Amino acid sequence: MLRRLPEQKGRRVRFLFEGEQVHALEGDSVAAALLAAGAGATRTTPKSGSPRAPYCMMGVCFECLVEIDGVPNRQACLIEVRDGMRVRRQRGAPGLPGEAEDDPV
Amino acid sequence: MTRFDLAIIGAGPAGMSAAVTARDAGLSVIVVDEQPAPGGQIWRAVGRNAGARSGNLAFLGEDYAKGAELAAQFEASGAQFWPSASVWHADSPDEGDKTVTVAWDGATRQFRAGALLIATGAMERPVPVPGWTLPGVMTVGAAQTLLKSSGLHPEPPLLLAGSGPLLLLFAAQCIAAGIEIAALLETTPPGAYMRGLPHLPVALLGWRTLLKGHRLKRQLAASGIPVYRAVTDLVADGTEQLERVRFRSAGMPVELEAAHLLLHEGVVPNPQLTRLLRCDHHWDAAQRCFRPDLSDRGETSVDNVFVAGDGGGIGGAMAAVHSGRIAAFEIAERFGSVNRPSGDVEIVKARDALRAELAVRPLLDAMFPPPDWIARLDGDVTVCRCEEVSAAAVRKAAALGAPGPNQAKAFLRAGMGPCQGRMCGLTITEILADAHGEHPERIGYYRIRPPIKPVTLGELAALDGSD
Ligand SMILES: Cc1cc2nc3c(=O)[nH]c(=O)nc-3n(C[C@H](O)[C@@H](O)[C@H](O)COP(=O)(O)OP(=O)(O)OC[C@H]3O[C@@H](n4cnc5c(N)ncnc54)[C@H](O)[C@@H]3O)c2cc1C
Ligand code: FES
């Protein structure tokens, strides 16, 4: 889990992770917001189902792959979090875009 | 399709300085970067930290603050800038323009350019130790990015393990920001500092870097953070999450509780685009990595495809700035905007500055030698994180006759996952070289194919070839 230093100015952003409401600061990447929210594993691997979390934060490891607004395979460390985003763990191999169920809002 | 004289991929120090120089020379320039703002790795989120969060400059340090000036020049340069745009294909036909394909805002865009400058920088060398896939383990650079971009830091107990200037810099930034570090695990082999001594006279040209390194070490010593030296046999342990770290320090076994472990063993060029474009590469023995063959003006083996910055070999941010200028002047001359004599004078100046900047590198290489244990990996440690392939499996593929990474890939699926070998490529080259008793250059590297970034069906469908 990550902590925020004091005096990090910015607008608060609210989004959904696995259907639960989470707070972030404007300018956070989705990966940063998830780590700050204590999300733990953000995906599981297709082969063994082992838990993974963001590793590089710069777009090269692809451990941060999540589903955002129904689209799988998004690199959470490269995408800024936005109000109302619906984010889900990517479990195993990604489905096709649009295949995901909707979040229970 | 829109056409530019110069397309620059990456808006770090190299890309930004090249863009400013090329615009001054009157070229039409487009710059794309997959990050939401310019700055690259060293100057991540420099706009935000120089603005609303200026309090952070106090602990991020003066080298970081310097980035704001170049970023401002870049933004005023008149270069077209596409942030949050990932290049997933680049094509260089034998004759004529290059084509760049970008995923941007849910759509695919393409443009053409006379010259292409790859300024995609470096990535941290993957550090395949047992348990490095556990949540709670990440790279030092990742933690530093979280600090720069979001003011976030790992909760205690936090361990830093590895070797290299970036590790020391991050430790110093943590100390200055009041972030607690439980212990530092130095994997630098004993005696490395002594081996660096013969390089000192040349390195004095880069005395500023040296002074900085010295200051970092002093800050660290004064902080009272426990330092374990000559660390080997590092293991991250836990079930769903990192719980503890085991290692040997000067041969003695140690176990520490940890919520976070940050790994770092130096940085290496990000090879994806130069490999995709089939540029020639060679093995750099001092830095234990491949780098593209470059002319003294930064051109690759492919006509009008240039590399500037750490993507061509590790030189640091100021070297990236100078090499960006050199490449931009050369490109400006070719495309007729600057006449030879004045361009040549500028190139000579930039090259002198670059040489002074690079002078310190042999010393750094000797002081922080890249890890040699990666070549000897065996057993069930994960090498390919995506497809979960172990070191032992790679050795077995070698024994079954796989001569290089591409055959190992066919046997094992290593390198076929979403990261396309970024996390295992170098390790697999090293292990195969060791297994076959061959030079890494003969073993080679993965053949990289497009798309080099995940593309959604929507983005593909939107490929309309316009702009
Ligand atoms: C994680 C990390 C942290 C670092 N921190 C520091 C530091 O604090 N201080 C220091 O002195 N050095 C640091 N370095 C070293 C660093 O390499 C600097 O020397 C400097 O940033 C190099 O500048 P550059 O312009 O060559 O590349 P970079 O600054 O790395 O910039 C490359 C840019 O290319 C973009 N890019 C890459 N691939 C694509 C693609 N396919 N499509 C679109 N855009 C792409 C990236 O998003 C990035 O913004 C760090 C390196 C890493 C890897
Ligand atoms: S954390 Fe590595 S790609 Fe996003």
pLDDT in tens, B372-430: 999 999 999 999 999 999 999 999 999 999 999 999 998 899 988 899 999 999 999 99
Whole-number pLDDT of residue A103:
35
Nearest residue, CB atoms, B240 vs list A27, A51, A55: A51
Task: Determine the 3-state secondary structure of B369 from DSSP.
Answer: coil
Mean pLDDT confidence for B192-218: 72
C-alpha B220 – ligand 2 centre gap (Å)? 29
Nearest residue, CB atoms, A61 vs list B151, B385, B388: B385
**Contact with chain A for residue B240, Cβ under 8 A:** yes
Residues A51, B135: C-beta atoms closer than 8 Å: yes
Whole-number pLDDT of residue B135:
98
**Contact with chain A for residue B107, Cβ under 8 A:** no
Nearest residue, CB atoms, A47 vs list B56, B259, B387: B387
DSSP 8-state class, residue B448: P
Sign of CA dihedral B20, B21, B23, B27: negative
pLDDT at B75 over 90: yes
**Contact with chain A for residue B133, Cβ under 8 A:** yes
Whole-number pLDDT of residue A101:
42
C-alpha B278 – ligand 2 centre gap (Å)? 25
DSSP 8-state class, residue B301: S
Whole-number pLDDT of residue B339:
60
Rounded distance, CA B104 to CA B101, Å?
9
Rounded distance, CA B127 to CA B170, Å?
17
Q: Would you say B149 and B45 are in contact if contact means Cβ atoms under 8 Å apart? A: yes
Ligand 2 pocket, residue A54 CB under 6 Å: yes
Rounded distance, CA B32 to CA B7, Å?
8
Whole-number pLDDT of residue B340:
61
Residues A3, B136: C-beta atoms closer than 8 Å: no
DSSP string for residues in B142-197: HHHHHHHHH-EEEPSSEEEEEESHHHHHHHHHHHHHT----EEEE-SPTTHHHHHG
**Contact with chain B for residue A23, Cβ under 8 A:** no
Q: Which ligand is nearest to the CA of A74?
A: 2
pLDDT at B46 over 70: yes
> What confidence category does residue B94 fall into, taking pLDDT thresholds of 50, 70 and 90?
confident
**Which residue would you say has higher pLDDT here, B345 or B388?**
B388
Rounded distance, CA B245 to CA B259, Å?
9
> What confidence category does residue B341 fall into, taking pLDDT thresholds of 50, 70 and 90?
low
Q: Which residues contact B136 (CB under 8 A, 6 or more apart)?
A: A53, B236, B238, B241, B242, B258, B259, B260, B261
pLDDT in tens, B118-130: 999 999 999 999 9
Residues B137, A55: C-beta atoms closer than 8 Å: yes
Q: Which residues contact A72 (CB under 8 A, 6 or more apart)?
A: A65, A66, A90, A94, A95, A96, A97, A99, A100
Ligand 1 pocket, residue B164 CB under 6 Å: no
**Contact with chain A for residue B239, Cβ under 8 A:** no
Q: Would you say B122 and B422 are in contact if contact means Cβ atoms under 8 Å apart? A: no
Q: How many CB pairs under 8 A join A and B?
A: 142
Q: Would you say A33 and A15 are in contact if contact means Cβ atoms under 8 Å apart? A: yes
Ligand 1 pocket, residue B310 CB under 6 Å: yes
Residues A62, B386: C-beta atoms closer than 8 Å: yes
**Which residue would you say has higher pLDDT here, B460 or B443?**
B443
pLDDT at B220 over 90: no
pLDDT in tens, A27-55: 999 999 999 999 989 999 999 999 999 99
Ligand 2 pocket, residue A82 CB under 6 Å: no
pLDDT in tens, A82-92: 999 999 999 88
pLDDT at B467 over 80: no
Instruction: Give burial (CB, 10 Å; 0-12/13-18/19+) of B465.
Output: exposed
Whole-number pLDDT of residue B205:
66
Closest CA to B8 of B308, B337, B455: B308
* Type of residue found at A2: L
pLDDT in tens, A54-80: 999 999 999 999 999 998 999 999 999
pLDDT at B324 over 70: yes
Pick from B80-84, B102-106, B124-128: least confident: B102-106
Whole-number pLDDT of residue B185:
97
Residues B86, A40: C-beta atoms closer than 8 Å: no
* Type of residue found at B237: D
> What confidence category does residue B455 fall into, taking pLDDT thresholds of 50, 70 and 90?
confident
Closest CA to B120 of B340, B274, B256, B6: B274
pLDDT in tens, B227-276: 999 999 999 999 999 999 999 999 999 999 999 999 999 999 999 999 99
Whole-number pLDDT of residue B229:
93
β-partners of residue B431 are none
DSSP 8-state class, residue A94: -
Ligand 1 pocket, residue B404 CB under 6 Å: no
The CA distances from residue B297 to A74, B61, B336, B361, in Å, are 37, 31, 16, 19
Within 13 A of B448's CA, how many CA atoms are on the CB side?
Answer: 26
Q: 10 Å Cβ neighbour count for B96?
A: 10
Rounded distance, CA B330 to CA B336, Å?
10
Whole-number pLDDT of residue B204:
65
> What confidence category does residue B206 fall into, taking pLDDT thresholds of 50, 70 and 90?
low
Ligand 1 pocket, residue B261 CB under 6 Å: no
Rounded distance, CA B162 to CA B129, Å?
11
Beta strands in A1-105 (DSSP E): 2-4, 12-17, 20-25, 43-44, 51-52, 65-68, 71-75, 86-91
pLDDT at B466 over 70: no
* Type of residue found at B5: D
Mean pLDDT confidence for B180-206: 79
> What confidence category does residue A95 fall into, taking pLDDT thresholds of 50, 70 and 90?
low
Whole-number pLDDT of residue B59:
92
Whole-number pLDDT of residue B199:
73
Question: Which chain B residues have a beta carbon less than 8 Å from that of A80?
Answer: 36, 84
**Contact with chain B for residue A10, Cβ under 8 A:** yes
**Contact with chain B for residue A93, Cβ under 8 A:** no
Question: Which chain A residues have a beta carbon less than 8 Å from that of B387?
Answer: 47
